C-alpha cells in the first residue's frame, strides 16, 4: 500500500487521488440568476444529499485564485438555485456549459438549453432534465485554511419536478430510466452499470 500524507504530496497528486477514488460522483447541473437577470448554468460533481427532512443537498464550488465562480457569486447574492440531475440524454449539452464565459453571458444560450420557470424560486430551470430541484440556500461555508479555497453551499429543496417516465407508482425512481451519468477523474464519465440488490441485516 502507498501511504501518503497530503501535506507532503503536491496539490496535483492529492487532487488526482481524491477525484480518482471518490467515484462515481453524481453531477448536478446548477442554474442561478445574476443581478442583471442573466441565467447562468454549470455542472458540479462535488454534490450530494445532506439530509432528507427537510430535504437538503450540498454543493462545493471551488474558487479560482480566490475568486468566486459565477454560480457561487449568484448564490451568495440571491440565495437561490436550481439543481438538475445530469443524465445520458443531456450530458453532452451540459458539458458545453462548463466553458468559462464572461459574467454577463448565459451558458444556456451557448448550449441551446431551454429555460422553464420555477414555482418557488425566481431562478428558472432547464427543460432538458428529468429531475429539477428548486433550492433555497440554508448555509454557505467558505473553506480552506484562509477560507478562500472553496464554498460549501447547503440548500433546502423547496420544490421537486420529476419526469413522469422516471417516477413509478410506488414513489420509487427508476434508475434505468433516469440513466444518470457520473463523473470519474479527468474527462471520464460513467453510466450506471449492473444493478444488484443486497438486503440489509436485521
Ligand X SMILES: Cc1cc2nc3c(=O)[nH]c(=O)nc-3n(C[C@H](O)[C@H](O)[C@H](O)COP(=O)(O)O)c2cc1C
CB of 157 to ligand X, least distance (A): 18
Interaction site with ligand X (CB under 6 A) = 27, 40, 42-46, 60-62, 69-71, 95, 98, 100, 183
Grid cell 431562478 — which residue? 123
Q: Which is nearer to ligand X, 162 or 185 (CB)?
A: 185
CB of 101 to ligand X, least distance (A): 7
Q: Which is nearer to ligand X, 45 or 118 (CB)?
A: 45
CB of 28 to ligand X, least distance (A): 8
CB of 45 to ligand X, least distance (A): 4
Question: Cα–Cα distance between 175 and 197 in angstroms, integer?
Answer: 13
Cβ atoms of residues 132 and 125 within 8 Å = yes
- The pairing of strands 80-85 and 131-143 is antiparallel
**Torsion angle defined by CA atoms of residues 95, 48, 192 and 187, in that order, rounded to the nearest 10 degrees:** 30
Q: Which is nearer to ligand X, 40 or 90 (CB)?
A: 40
Q: Which is nearer to ligand X, 31 or 118 (CB)?
A: 31
11 in helix, strand or coil?
helix
Q: Which three cell numbers stand for residue 37?
A: 437577470
Amino acid at each position: 500500500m502507498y501511504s501518503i500524507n497530503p501535506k507532503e504530496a503536491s496539490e496535483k497528486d492529492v487532487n488526482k487521488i481524491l477525484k480518482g477514488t471518490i467515484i462515481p460522483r453524481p453531477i448536478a447541473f446548477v442554474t442561478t440568476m445574476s443581478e442583471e437577470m442573466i441565467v447562468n448554468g454549470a455542472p458540479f460533481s462535488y454534490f450530494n444529499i445532506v439530509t432528507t427532512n427537510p430535504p437538503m443537498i450540498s454543493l462545493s464550488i471551488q474558487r479560482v485564485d480566490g475568486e468566486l465562480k459565477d454560480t457561487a457569486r449568484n448564490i451568495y447574492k440571491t440565495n437561490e438555485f436550481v439543481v438538475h440531475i445530469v443524465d445520458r440524454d443531456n450530458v453532452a449539452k451540459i458539458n458545453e456549459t462548463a466553458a468559462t464565459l464572461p459574467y454577463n453571458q448565459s451558458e444556456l444560450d451557448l448550449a441551446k438549453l431551454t429555460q422553464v420557470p420555477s414555482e418557488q424560486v425566481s431562478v428558472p430551470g432547464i427543460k432538458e432534465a428529468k429531475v429539477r430541484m428548486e433550492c433555497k440556500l440554508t448555509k454557505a461555508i467558505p473553506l480552506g485554511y484562509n477560507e478562500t479555497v472553496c464554498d460549501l453551499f447547503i440548500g433546502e429543496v423547496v420544490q421537486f419536478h420529476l419526469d413522469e417516465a422516471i417516477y413509478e407508482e410506488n414513489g420509487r425512481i427508476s434508475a434505468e430510466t433516469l440513466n444518470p451519468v457520473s463523473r470519474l477523474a479527468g474527462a471520464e464519465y460513467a453510466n450506471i452499470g449492473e444493478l444488484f440488490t443486497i438486503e440489509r441485516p436485521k
